[in-house]
Amino acid sequence: MKSNNLKIYCITNKYFDFLDNLDINIIVGGSINQKQQFPKNWLLDSTNDNISNKNQTFGTLTSLYWIWKNELQKYGNDDWVGICHYRRYWLNENHEKKIDVHNLNDNLMKSITGNNLKYDGFVVSPQNVTGYKLMKILKKGKKNILRNPLILFKKKHHTINLHFDMFHIYNGLNKASAVMQETEKKHFLKYINSKTQYLPFSIFILKKEKFQNLCINTFDWIFKCENLFDKEKLKGYGQIRIFDFLAERYFSFWIEKNIKYKILPGIFVDINNNDKSNFI
């Protein structure tokens, strides 16, 4: 397999000088509203076929859409396409124990080789959403308590759906599922009402064909979801970027249902402290 079979796109909305030293493609999200200048080799999601003007509520989706519409045709069927963010990156499995912005590039995953070639995709470790403190549930989950008092006592009821209700929009996932095709809706509702963890951050590496199929399904659904939520009534970060958060749960559902995947190491880089990072 050729050594450059992995194409990584790093989504950012700001300029950070350390990004210039990374061997990945940098794409600016919501660039239609950006006034600052970016390096000429950086990609702008406001060019060619784009939805950059939706960035306020779509977040990283505007960059993902741009990659899907304008970049995928460049790659072959044996290529993988990956997404990361300016604070979260994919690492080699034999990475160093201490990583910061100074040695980050040396530890980035650059290609898919060996036994990893048998997989269709790669994700970071799942995020567990159980174990809320009682006061947190009483404060953010009052409606959920009325619907299911067991959330006060049993962690297995701390599902993806409950998490979304508490931290984004109550009944948001249920409402959005209404515009899915009936078969997918059934599986999606079972997933969000039974699973207590999901694949976070909307970052993944997928074989080109799988990446394309994920985008087709995601945007077909998300564009329908736009008619369900009154954007004028969305308040705070957890609601304003509603379509980004909906897609994050859908990515997890779709990948677990359709992809033979493996968990790979990732890292969170504290951009306010160049010497601090945490593995994810």
Residue span of the structural domain in which 50 resides:
6-125+199-208+260-279
Is there a contact between 106 and 94 (Cβ–Cβ < 8 Å)?
Answer: no
Q: What is the pLDDT of residue 2?
A: 43
pLDDT tens digits, 19-32? 999 999 999 999 99
18 and 109 both lie in a single domain? yes
Domain-embedded: residue 77: yes
Q: In the chain, which ranges are continuous DSSP H helix? A: 55-58, 61-70, 104-107, 134-140, 142-147, 160-167, 172-177, 182-194, 208-225, 237-240, 242-258
- pLDDT tens figures, 145-165: 999 999 999 999 999 999 999
Helix (H) or strand (E) holding 206: strand 205-207
Q: Do 92 and 104 lie in a common domain?
A: yes
Instruction: Please name the residues in contact with 153: beta carbons below 8 A apart, sequence gap of 6 or more.
Output: none
Burial class (CB in 10 A: 0-12, 13-18, 19+), 124: buried
Question: Looking at 117-126, 139-148, 171-180, 267-276, which range is the least confident one?
Answer: 267-276
pLDDT at 3: 58
158 plus 137 within the same structural domain: yes
* Phi, psi for residue 12 in degrees, rounded to 5: -145, 160
**Are 68 and 203 members of one domain?**
yes
Residues 116 and 19 in one domain: yes
Least confident interval from 59-63, 124-128, 143-147: 143-147
Do 115 and 76 lie in one domain? The reply is: yes
Task: Verify that 42 and 109 share a domain, yes or no.
Answer: yes
| pLDDT of residue 273 exceeding 90 | no
pLDDT tens figures, 63-121: 999 999 999 999 999 999 999 999 999 999 999 999 999 999 999 999 999 999 999 99
Number of domains in the chain: 2
- Residues 167 and 268 occupy one common structural domain: no
Q: What is the pLDDT of residue 1?
A: 35
Q: What is the mean pLDDT of the chain?
A: 95
Percent of the chain whose pLDDT exceeds 70? 98
Q: Are residues 64 and 156 in the same domain?
A: no
Distance separating alpha carbons of residues 253 and 114, to the nearest angstrom: 27
Query: In the predicted model, what is the mean pLDDT of residues 41-53?
Result: 98
